Structure 1
């Protein structure tokens, strides 16, 4: 398994957004269930990552399948053709007894105005996840190379 890991500044930015969204969600819900943060703020995937990346950006956070997600849109270039890669960073999940389907819509313009959030550098690497521990190894930094 592999992981997409944003840089430290981006991780701090995502953690602040994560805290705000989970706090808003929990303040408006009954005590039978609640949202809990999920770490690490990495996207996991199981395919060969392309060499040439044109752009990488985080899209507005979404709530689906009882999880909070930062969608990541990556555009790569191979054989003169652009390819779209969609990754997801799960940053929260619902714990407790849920009787019906949940909906949550992000109403805060303060958060919405932060996205899309473009980044230029990130790491990818092999990851070992065991129980509640994770370890990244053979990591390498990737830098976006926009078309001129």
Structure 2
């Protein structure tokens, strides 16, 4: 991750647009459940970000059931290779006041939708600057 006071550059795994729409629907559903217990707002973009290089040669990509980490909710992402696995997160919600994210029960239809195996996605460099983001050097990945 290369950051200055106004911008930050990271590597990203970007799901296919159909998966992004799917994740956005789950995001809305979970945030409506969470807002009954705490003030929660959505996080965007729905990309898995890392400061590590993302090597080629991927053999699998799996998005897991939503989880929480202190004041954030996320979808765990595993990028599989022949000899190792890269674990990332797609953060999709955060508490407004920075307090711990409340526990939540997922509806059965959400539980049944995961784990979600992805075959098509992009890798890219992402720049966050002045409350906006843009991607460049993106490459489509298709796992056979």
TM-score by length of 2: 0.88
- Give the unaligned 5+ runs of structure 1: none
**Which 4+ stretches in 1 moved above 4 angstroms?**
none
CA distance in 2, matches of 1:92, 1:124: 22
Alpha-carbon shift at residue 97 of structure 1 (Å)? 6.8
Task: Say if 1:126 and 1:102 are closer, same or farther in 2 by CA, change over 3 A.
Answer: closer
Per-residue CA distance 1:33-68 (angstroms, 9 max, x = gap): 401001100111122212111110100000111101
Say which of 9, 14, 33 aligns to 1:5: 14
Alignment of 1:48-127 (within 5 A): 48-77=53-82, 82-96=83-97, 98=99, 101-127=100-126
Aligned to 2:45: 40
Task: Say if 1:97 and 1:10 are closer, same or farther in 2 by CA, change over 3 A.
Answer: closer
Alpha-carbon shift at residue 134 of structure 1 (Å)? 0.4
> Aligned pair count?
135
Per-residue CA distance 1:40-99 (angstroms, 9 max, x = gap): 00111122212111110100000111101010011113xxxx21110101000000374x
Aligned residue for 1:53, secondary structure, equals coil
- Give the unaligned 5+ runs of structure 2: 1-9
Which entry has the higher C-alpha Rg, 1 or 2?
A: 1
Q: Greater shift after overlay, 104-113 or 14-23? A: 104-113
CA distance in 2, matches of 1:112, 1:131: 36
Aligned residue for 1:128, secondary structure, equals strand
TM-score by length of 1: 0.85
The Cα RMSD (Å) is 1.4
